[in-house]
Structures are given as C-alpha cells and as structure tokens.
Amino acid sequence: MAESPLLNVSFSNQSENKSNLTSCPDLNDWWEIVYYLVPKYINAICVIGMLGNLLVLIVYSLCKDPLKTAEIYLMNLAVADFIFLTCLPFWAENVRNKFNWPFGNFFCRSTSASVRLNMYTSIYLLVAVSMDRYLTFVHTLTHGRIRSKTMAKGICLLTWFFGILVSIPIFTFRTVKHFPQWNISACILDFPDPLWATAERLVFSTVGFALPSIAIIFFNFSTIRSLQEHTRERRALRTQYCKNHKDTKATRLIFLVVLMFLLCWTPFHLFTFLDVLFQMEVVKGCFWEELLNFGEQFSSTLAITNSCINPIIYVFAGKYFRQKASEVFSQFFPCVFFFELGISQREDFNMFPAKISIK
C-alpha cells in the first residue's frame, strides 16, 4: 500500500502477504498522474500558504493594539499551519520520487512529527476559539475570567505541549526502510507489532478528530442558536448594537474557519478509519485496496489545502483583520495599503466610532 504524505501507514509482513495473495489490476498509468500532479499541487499550496500565514503573523505581531482573546488562538493557529507548510516540500519530493524518501532518517522523523503536531494543535485551537465564542454569547455574564488573555495563552501552551507529546511516538517509530520488492526506501511508521499501528490510528481518529469535532460542533451550534435568540434584543437595544455587531462579525469569521477545517479534514479521517478496517480485514479485496490507496492521496491533498485557506478567509471575510493589516502596512506603504485595505473600512468607522476589534 502506498503511503500518503499525512497518513502513518505501517508496512507489515501481514499487509505484504495480503497484497501478494491478491491479484489486483495494474493501475500504473493512474499512479503516474498522481506522481505528476500531486507534487505540483503541494508545492503551490506551500507557497500560497506560507505567504498567507506569514502575513497573518506579521499583522498580529506588529499591530499596535494588544491581541484579543480570539486573536491569540488564531495567531497560534497560523504558527501551526506555518510549521506544517515548511514540511510540505519534503513530502512533495517524496511523492514525485514515487515514495522513495531521499532526505535521510532525521528529516523523515522530524517532518512526520511536525505534521502530526499540526494536526492536533490545529483542531484543539479551533476547539478553544469555538469555546471562546460559546462563552461570549451563551454565558455572557460568567465568561470574564475564563476568557482572559492569560487563560487563552495558558490554553495555547497546553495545546502545544499536548501536540508535542502525541508526536513523540511518530518521531520515535518513523524510519527509512528499504523495500526490495518495490526497490524503494520509504519513510514509514515501523511499529514493533502491527497492532500498534492499528491502535495508533484509532487513537488518532478518535482523539485527534472525532472528539474535538463533536466539541466544535456543539459549541458552534449552541452559539448560532444563542445568536438567533438574541437577534431581536440586539436590534431593540441600539446602545449595545455596536459591540454586538462587532462580536457577531468576528464570530462569523470563526464559523467560516471552523467549517473549512471540517470540510477539508473529514475525508482524510474517513479514509484513515477505512484503512484501519482494511488492516483488520473487516473490508477486503482489490476494490478497497485501490480505493484506499488513491483516496488517501487525494484526501491528503484536500487536508493540506486547509493550511492556506485561513489567511484567505481573513482577508476576504475578516473586515477587522483587514483594518489591522491596513494599520500595520500603512506604516511602510502609506498610500498603497491604506487605499487598498483601509478605504473599505471608512464606512465602518463612521458607523461605529468606537475601536473595532475581535473579541
């Protein structure tokens, strides 16, 4: 079974024997398309994503105003995506080289661990920012202490620590192993026992996606329901409309970030779970083997896309992020950036004279 750049496939004697016993159709022409298109796509995503997330980091780092609670989470999310994107050129070359890893054992381990670190930190940072919105609108009167910036920084620190902790097995068991039957030296997860691989993927699918996704969906649906219930009240209390309007705009931006994350990552985790069923022989045959091989490749590329989407969302849907960007870059390019990014904010300044910020 070919290895996806994101999925930790462990080549075992059992899986090799199963492949040898089953005569599957020759799909080399289709794999040549994968070898040609996927690396180009990954490199394009890498360039766009690194530039976009670098923009986000520059804006949040150089903005004069202190970061708000949600911005702390979003900045850490940009850091996680940036680290992840720096690993992609290695995997693009790996796919182009037909999964023959040319970079040595250390880069095999370090890039794989960095990829896993991004997966865990990203989704749990989205849990944190979704919870922040939930507390803002559902528990408005009691959310103050929990939503403090000190608490947000502590949650981010714990998230990074947890991500590093769960990445240690990947760093430990990743290795470059030669497969004479395919004449390649692949960067794989080489667990002592095949059951370890199955257990690791089940934990990854459950702890790394299913449980945090349930939390994200709960927080966001609760927030949406609360927003709907209070729409009439906000319209009636015009004195508080400005603040609520700003919170609602910020919340819509976060909803969009969460939605795109789930859309991009759900197919990947679905194929991860199906691969577990295949290794356990719950599903068998050439159809499932080839479906998983190709499905893992293309679901991986979809998941990779998410790392460059967030900056695009901020620019096109984040009105207050554009304001911050105009403030930062107008210091260096006062005419161009203020005109392009700032002029669209003038109506908002007239409507809402108070300082606009994401809560």
Specify the range with the lowest mean pLDDT, choosing from 37-41, 95-99, 175-179, 330-334. Answer: 330-334
Distances in whole angstroms, Cα of residue 67 to Cα of each of 64, 150, 356: 9, 11, 12
- Residue 283 CA from chain centroid, whole number: 29
pLDDT for residue 348 is more than 50: no
210 lies in a domain?
Answer: yes
Let me know if 279 is exposed, middle or buried by CB neighbors in 10 A (0-12, 13-18, 19+): buried
Question: Does residue 182 carry a pLDDT above 60?
Answer: yes
- CA nearest 156: which of 192, 191, 184, 131? 131
Tell me the three state secondary structure of residue 6.
Answer: coil
In this structure, what token pair is assigned to residue 271? 């194929």
Over range 112-121, report the average pLDDT: 93
State residue 234's pLDDT score. 58
CATH code of 238's domain? 1.20.1070.10
> pLDDT at position 145, please?
56
Alpha helix (H) residue ranges in the chain: 13-21, 28-62, 69-96, 104-137, 149-173, 194-205, 211-229, 231-236, 241-279, 286-317, 319-329, 334-337, 346-351
Q: What's the pTM? A: 0.81
> Where is pLDDT greater, at 15 or 224?
224
In this structure, is residue 7 part of a structural domain? no
Q: Rounded to the nearest 5°, which phi and psi values hold at 348?
A: -70, -40
Dmax over Cα atoms in the chain, in whole Å? 74
Instruction: Count the domains in the chain.
Output: 1
Residue 331, domain member (yes or no): yes
> Is 249 contained in some domain?
yes
Is residue 359 in some structural domain? no
Mean of the per-residue pLDDT values for the chain? Answer: 80
What pLDDT score does 8 carry?
46
Taking only the tens place, the pLDDT of each residue in 38-82 is 999 999 999 999 999 999 999 999 888 888 888 899 999 999 999
Rg of the chain over all Cα atoms, to the nearest angstrom: 23
Beta carbons of 81 and 53 less than 8 angstroms apart:
yes
pLDDT band at 250 (very low <50, low <70, confident <90, very high): low
Which residues 6+ apart lie within 8 Å of 166 measured at CB? 116, 120, 207, 208
Quick check: 113 pLDDT over 90?
yes
In a domain, 234, yes or no: yes
- 357, part of any domain: no
Residue 8, domain member (yes or no): no
Alpha-carbon distance of 17 to 4, in angstroms, equals 20
Find the domain containing 153 and state its range: 13-351
How far apart are the C-alpha atoms of 262 and 5, rounded to whole Å?
19
Give the residue-averaged pLDDT of 3-11. 47
- The angle that helices 319-329 and 286-317 make with each other, rounded to 10 degrees, is 60
282 or 243, higher pLDDT: 282
Q: How confident is the model at residue 226 (pLDDT cuts 50, 70, 90)?
A: confident
